[in-house]
Structure formats: structure tokens, C-alpha cells
Amino acid sequence: MSKGKHSHSNAPRLRILLAEAIAMGPGKAELLRAIREHGSISAAARAMGMSYRRAWLLVDTMNRSFIEPLVGTATGGSRGGGARLTPLGMDVLRRYAAMEQKAQAVLQEDMDDFRRLLRPDGPLPASTEDPSA
């Protein structure tokens, strides 16, 4: 199956939990990739259509969840601040991507079977009927 929107939307989504927090998941991995590409949290957030505050909170959760920070930041100055993935951040991102690929490969046949049970045009509209009537 080609890597279109439909196949991606039904792909298994791997999340690594640490107590109540999601230490790593697909959105956080995407944010790490964007920080690596853009060199700042604010530019990464803009590229993802996310508020800076939301991006900063995700980075803070990741940095507090691992034994060392995944993202290092530099404060402003005449050229502004910046952010970079630490060596651990690069390693975690690489390992997470490998785990996603393994999960996809192992679950591919089951996911194909499961997709056949889903409506091809999306969920039905929510009922407006009062269930107590």
C-alpha cells in the first residue's frame, strides 16, 4: 500500500509513557525533527502550526522524562536564541523511528485486516437523538 494519508492515518501510533506523562510519541518525534531542521523551538512550532507555548511544554516534558535533556537551548542576544538536539536527543529520535518501523512491520498484516473493518468514508455523524427517549 502506498504511503498516502489514508494509510498513515490508520498506522499504529507508538507512545512511550513515563508515569502519567507521554515521554515520547509521534508528535514529540515530529517536534524533535523540526527543531533539528530549524534550529529553534519557535521556528519548529511555526513550521508545525503549533503555538510556541505548546512546543515549549512538549520539550519540557521530554527533557524532564529522560536521564538528560533531549533539547538544549541558548538564550537570546543580538541574533536571538536557538535550540538543538543533544546527543541523547538524536539517539532517542533514531531509536524511536526504528521502533516505529519495527511496529509497523510486525503489525502490517493485522492492520490491513483491521482496516477492512473500518468505514472507508470515515465515521457516521453523531446522533442528535436523545438516548433516554
Query: Helix axis angle, 52-65 relative to 41-48, nearest 10°?
Result: 120
In a domain, 94, yes or no: yes
Q: Left if phi > 0, otherwise alpha if psi is -120 to 50, otherwise beta: which for 16?
A: beta
What's the grid cell of residue 77?
A: 542576544
Residue bearing the bigger pLDDT, 87 or 7: 87
Per the structure, the count of domains in the chain is 1
List 82's β-bridge partners, or say none: 74
Q: Given the C-alpha cell 437523538, which residue does it identify?
A: 129
Report, as an integer, the average pLDDT of 112-127.
88
Nearest 5°: the CA angle 89, 45, 102 is: 45
Q: Quick one: pLDDT band at residue 132, thresholds 50, 70, 90?
A: low
**pTM (2 decimals)?**
0.76
Residue pLDDT, tens place only, 9-66: 567 788 998 888 889 999 999 999 999 999 999 999 999 999 999 999 999 999 999 9
Q: Do you know the residue count of the chain?
A: 133
In a domain, 129, yes or no: no
Find out whether 12 and 111 touch, Cβ atoms under 8 Å: yes
In a domain, 9, yes or no: no
Half-sphere exposure of 80 (CA within 13 A, CB side): 7
Residue 97 pLDDT: 95
The domain in which residue 101 lies consists of 14-114
pLDDT at 8 exceeding the cut of 60: no
Half-sphere exposure of 55 (CA within 13 A, CB side): 21
CATH number at residue 84: 1.10.10.10
In a domain, 119, yes or no: no
Pairing of strands 71-74, 82-85: antiparallel
